[in-house]
Structure 1
Amino acid sequence: MNRPDLRSNFAYPLLDVTRLLRKHFDRRAEPLGLTRAQWRAIKVIHRQPGISQKALAELLEMEPIPVGRVIDRLQQAGFVERRADPADRRVWRLHTLDKAHGVLDDMEVIAAGLRDDALAGVNDAELAACIDVLERMKQNLLALEETPSKNS
């Protein structure tokens, strides 16, 4: 395969892989009746019991109002509950309920199967090299947030 300008085109396959992972995950998870946003919210709340809605919105990179709607639906379905923060009446703390644990297990099985399918034919050395490069790119981009831009 001819790759005339790797530096100009590296992001396209990265974006395609991300899009395809989301698409296939959504298809596989459809029978569980949860959106990707709902599953991500349950997963974060499970890992960080008592997280506030504001902190959840930041972690999910979503606006507070849509996150509130996601939480409303999850609460109505019996997956999470809101508890008042004892130190601040304006803050709600989020906790998963027992029903969420089974769904989390199912979603992890789906995610593991998709990872296996996506990585078919990729050996450990190739994967390690890929992860190393992505981590270095991530660090480069994070460093941009800490320094003034060249255009300002």
Structure 2
Amino acid sequence: MSDERRRFLDLSFKFLRDMRKRYDTEAKSLDMTLSRARALQRIQEREGLTQTELAEDLQIETPTLNRLLDKLEQSDFVERRQMDGDKRVRCIYLTEPARAKADQIATFSAGIRRQAFDGIDPDDIRAATRLIEQLIANLEKSQA
């Protein structure tokens, strides 16, 4: 592997670790875990989504999501309702107590993103996004 590729991957991993640490610190300040904060934020964005859709959005397995939702339900942050017309499918909704928490999560998430992208040209962001999408596609293609 060329030095540039190795450096790119090393920096990518460092960036992801640093972002995760920032999100985790902010989530803890709200008495949340990073996983729960991410789930609440996603549910707020797509309220009424199914458990399967949420698992896909969060890129986690269904059993992991079920444990996460159990904890959120015990904390009175979400409720699972049967979908009209299909009792096997459950949709997820925020409870009233969770709405303020989800707003706080959205606020700190936006602040972290703003800080991370401060001073970066939008064209550079688009180019980096295309690069990462191609890297993901290459990895997915090699697994097929």
Normalised by the shorter chain, which TM-score bucket? 0.7 to 0.9
Describe the SS at the equivalent of 1:15: helix
The AA in structure 2 aligned to 1:104 is A
Show the counterpart of 1:9: 7
Matched, 1:69 2:67: yes
Q: Is residue 123 of structure 1 aligned with residue 123 of structure 2?
A: no
Q: Which runs of 5+ in 2 are unaligned?
A: none
Other-structure match for 2:87: 89
> Quick one: structure 1 residues 6 and 41, their matched pair in 2 at CA, closer, same or farther if it must change by over 3 Å?
same
- Counterpart AA for 1:109: T
Which has the higher Rg, Structure 1 or Structure 2? 1
Could you tell me which amino acid in structure 1 is paired with residue 43 of structure 2?
I
Q: TM-score, normalised by structure 2?
A: 0.83
State the distance in 1 between where 2:32 and 2:26 align.
11
Aligned residues: 143
Structure 1: gaps (5+ residues): none
Cα distance change, pair 124–37 in 1 and its aligned pair in 2 (3 A): same
CA RMSD of aligned residues (A): 2.5
Tell which deviates more after alignment, 133-142 or 21-30: 133-142
Equivalent in the alignment of 1:137: 131
Alpha-carbon deviation of 1:73? Answer: 1.0
